[in-house]
A and B are shown apart, each in its own frame.
Chain A
């Protein structure tokens, strides 16, 4: 065992080495202040290490290495990109850089959008109270220094303010051109009181990426977030979703992940107002040398809130699935309803599931539960289907999709869920 002081020194030293000679990006007063503070956080926390309890099951070295490893672009088959059939405001990033040419005009009723690059040039911006602020708040009780690194150095992203319910969803579409791109993208989304919006995200961002999305959902507002990660199977990336919810606010965030050499999706949610509701869900399919980590931290900081964490993973051929989830209930958060389930289906002997589902509760009048299971396909169910004439492969696929469906059901609009379900089905068909 390495002494704690020595480990800390190593982490700080690694951060110093990574950032040596790297200037903060130039910008206006508000963003420079945020970036400087974030850089100081990185310097004092250091980079994450495999020895950190919070990185117990995922080795962060591919994320912290000076340069990314190249990741082949998946040859796109004849399948149309996800969500193509929906009427949406399409905003395109190529290797993590906003591509105005490929994107729709930054105009949608009820929505103010501007790029981080443009906003950074101004001296004052509405996002100044949010940019880096939620990320900074998310550094306790657990350090997430890669998010601070992003705040300090990201120059790309979108600042989206939703003042009234827009007529269509806002779709962030990621594309790749470079074999060894290293992207840092930082979005800020504010949903004003009473508004309701849908943000879609899909496509390969870069060979390596570090994404931060800071979300502020005002009283009575609702945000739907539906994200799909796939196609480039050798990618390494970390995403951070920091979201705070006001009274009666709602967040529904769903992520579909297919493969990836190392993907960690962190969600840090604060239920700050009474009667807020946060549902964080994920469906993961891994086939091969794949490591997927969902790390979720939900804090109930106000009474009568509800939260759900629903994570399902189907793994085979050496795929590793990780779930770290926490429900923290503050003393004032009476009448909390917290639920958390993490389940994995291991399709062969090489797959692994590593989970740490936690409850930390300081209020007494609460209803909190969590469950976690791991196992293979239920033989009785499989036999029942086969006895009705369904061939074994098809029966297995039905059971796998059924297993994932509890997570997909967290998507409010079934049209998106169906699109994702079809995608999953053809994914399995291709691979069976």
Chain B
């Protein structure tokens, strides 16, 4: 599904700041991978580079989604190709209704893939059903995108978008940040409901707790712009127990 090979990147404004320094990662269809690591290890940057945000220059390496070169695509092309980033800090867009936003996005992607656009009626039915599962009320759908949403509401809105857009490769960037236990459960249930053999996930998180809800197949530890260790779910528990220090020391040795 997602193949990242020896990826290097630096800040566009300051080529002295290297963030990814040879990151490699392969995620097969249907797998859930987690990336953990201390602050500043480059986790969020990875999600931005994959989704095509401005401000970073890729200096080496590659990233492909089902064989297609992600790095060559515009952000919307990546989305149409099936990549989805659930943002750590979803942006507020005053004046754009949540429904308008969702419908525009769904139909733009369908159009890009050569599919029929959803009719207003079908769209409405679909969005109501999905929203109900995530306990998103009608009022939230009417309000402008993320404007005045609580932290939990914003994250649930991200998952609702994921459910509507049905991407192949989902990246969740610190989705647990700012969530209380109940909200985390709700969001995790939403994600778990989307797990299937054709869909992969990359869960970026600082803490192990989210991984109690979204069980990963593979856990990677990231530091200084690289994967320094890969293992099973037990690796996350090890971090929870002992912190990152031992792992970092081990990698440095």
Direct contact of A and B (CB under 8 A): yes
A residues adjacent to B (C-beta < 8 A): 378-381, 383-392, 394-395, 398-399, 401-406
* CB-CB under 8 A for A389 and B95, given A379-B54, A383-B54, A384-B90: no
**A-B pairs, 9 with minimum CB distance:** A402-B95, A389-B79, A386-B75, A389-B109, A388-B105, A402-B96, A405-B95, A386-B76, A380-B91
Q: Does B85 reach chain A (CB closer than 8 Å)?
A: yes
- A397 to chain B minimum Cβ distance, whole angstroms, is 10
Give chain A residues whose Cβ lies under 8 Å from the Cβ of B165.
388-389
- Residues of chain B with a CB closer than 8 A to A388's CB: 76, 79, 101, 105, 109, 161, 165
Contact B79 A387 (CB under 8 A): yes
B51 an interface residue at 8 Å Cβ cutoff?
yes
Instruction: Give chain B residues whose Cβ lies under 8 Å from the Cβ of A394.
Output: 104, 108
User: A393's closest neighbor in chain B, by CB?
Assistant: B76
- Point out the residues of chain B lying under 8 angstroms from A387, CB to CB: 51-53, 75-76, 78-79, 85, 87
A-B residue pairs in contact (CB < 8 Å), sample of 9: A384-B91, A385-B105, A388-B79, A392-B74, A394-B104, A398-B104, A399-B96, A402-B96, A405-B95
Question: What's the interface size class on B, roughly?
Answer: 20 to 34
Task: A423 to B146: give the CA distance in the assembly, Å.
Answer: 27
Cβ distance A382 to chain B, nearest Cβ, rounded Å: 9
A405 partner residues in chain B, CB cutoff 8 A: 95
| Minimum distance in angstroms from B103 CB to a CB of chain A | 10
Min C-beta distance of A410 to chain B, whole Å: 13
Q: How far is the CB of A233 from chain B (nearest CB, A)?
A: 26
Is B138 in contact with chain A by the CB < 8 A criterion?
Answer: no
Interface residue B198 (Cβ < 8 Å from any Cβ of A)? no
Least CB distance, A138 to chain B, in whole angstroms: 33
**Pair B96/A390 contact, Cβ less than 8 Å:** no
Contact partner, B76, options A391, A403, A406, Cβ 8 Å: A391
Q: Tell me, rounded to whole Å, the shortest Cβ–Cβ distance linking B203 to chain A.
A: 18
Q: Is A399 in contact with B93, judged by CB distance below 8 angstroms? A: yes
Question: Would you call B68 an interface residue if the criterion is a C-beta within 8 Å of the partner chain's C-beta atoms?
Answer: no
Shortest Cβ distance from B168 into chain A, in angstroms?
Answer: 13
Most chain B CB within a 10 A radius of its CB, from A379, A394, A399, A402: A402
Instruction: Please indicate the chain A residues that have their CB under 8 angstroms from the CB of B80 in the complex.
Output: 389
